[in-house]
Amino acid sequence: MSDGLASLAIASYGWAGIAAYPLTGPLLALRAAKGKEDRARRLERFGYPAADRPQGPLVWLHAASVGETLAVVPLMRELRRRDINVLLTTGTVTSAEIARFRLKDEVLHQYVPLDVKPAVRRFLDYWRPDVALSVESEIWPTTLMELHKRHIPQILVNARISDRSFERWQRHQSIAEALLGKLSLVIAQSDVDAERYRDLGAWPVIVSGNIKVDSDAPPCDPVVLDRYKQQIGNRKSWAAISTFEGEEKIATMVHRALRAHTGLLSVVVPRHPERSDEIEAMMVERGMKVARRTRNDPITPDTDILLGDTIGEMGLYLRLAEIAFVGRSLTAEGGQNPLEPAMLGCAVLSGPQVGNFRESYQRLVRNGNARIVRDAEMLAKAVHFLMTNDLARHKMIDAGMESMQEMRGALTATMKGLEPYINPLTVQARLEPRIVSQG
């Protein structure tokens, strides 16, 4: 649940009426997750465990979806390096698959319990976390209250708060203070985010930078990458990634406008792969020949678009292009993470609606790696310019690499902030085997 949705839910039912909130919380959560849940594991949403709790200290880390999960992979690995068990909860099948793909057996995974007392209490009774970490803007009122009652520290890491959510929280300042004041620590992405959390009643608040910058570049299968590169040959290519409804149509328009001049291949990666059938139908209707990754279709000389309809292969798609348009920025609001394309050597293009990643875009635009486009026509012109101007394209790519180096260090800052909570668990984890063997 985003901070904005929490604010709306509380505002709708009143602080005294948070007792009413549990009646709506599961409905909101289930509606939001419709079509995105693993039915075989639905009992986990009601707090029933599907794995054994390991012995020793355990940190519960909740990441709502794919972006948040990827952001904290280095943090989870650092906790495991200290011999601390990590329980990761997520809300969607996609994020669960990403966690399994990236982390394999390094951490335990469960679906997050619904924010109702029976589910949360059942979950906490079984897992008994020593510390609870939430990522970015995940604030669940019932869970927060239950953790506070049990004296379990809850810490918000890589925290951010959008303009809209901040305005909503401000309208209910007393509620915000009552909730956010129960957080043990907020580790914010930027000075702006930190100041907003302080204004809303959170304390203490420190700034780490964006931990996503410290993530490894998304991996790919080198055999598949080599095969696709051979099939593409000398053709020019660009990618439209993390696209939302309407942006695939814009990418298709860009392709139609440019293909006669450049003979390009377009790589389109929708944010929600389950929409791929309708996306392909739209593209075919507009005269495109589409290759789909899930069908393992080859890229032939007359292929117009490679439709990246798989999960966990962003590293593959971005390595096929040197220009990347990042979606949820023209036909939807908020933007998506521009750091991965910058990290993998792409010149970054985006629409203007990037409020969720403002700090990252400001840095990339200022350093010359990213450009903002207003509409489909401006996007087509930018793609054409970069595709036909090697010097300008490589200058943007180099600027992105430099920006990534400048922005690193958030993981170190985050771990330093967590030391008072994590260091005792490290000592406990490393002493327990000795104690057991002596017993």
pLDDT of 23: 28
Q: What's the confidence (pLDDT) of residue 344?
A: 96
Quote the pLDDT of residue 101.
Answer: 80
pLDDT at 434: 53
The DSSP call for residue 295 is G
Q: State both tokens at 353.
A: 């609606």
Q: Which residue has the tokens 């922005």?
A: 407
User: Do residues 108 and 85 touch, judged by C-beta distance below 8 A?
Assistant: yes
**What pLDDT, on the 0 to 100 scale, is given for residue 31?**
33
The residue from 44, 68, 146, 247 that is catalytic is 68
Chain centroid to CA 127: 25
Question: How many whole angstroms separate alpha carbon 171 and alpha carbon 409?
Answer: 35
**Euclidean distance between CA atoms 233 and 123, whole angstroms:** 53
Rounded CA separation 23/231 (Å): 54
- The CA distances from residue 150 to 6, 60, 117, 121, 124, in Å, are 21, 14, 13, 10, 9
Rounded CA-CA distance 269/319 in Å is 13
Known active-site residue 68: yes
- In single-letter form, the type of residue at position 409 comes to G
| Mean pLDDT, 10 residues at a time, the chain of 439 residues | 41 34 33 56 95 96 89 93 96 84 89 97 98 92 96 96 91 94 96 96 96 89 97 96 97 94 91 95 98 97 96 94 97 92 97 91 95 97 96 97 93 97 95 55
pTM above 0.85, yes or no: no
> Helix, strand, or coil here: 163?
helix
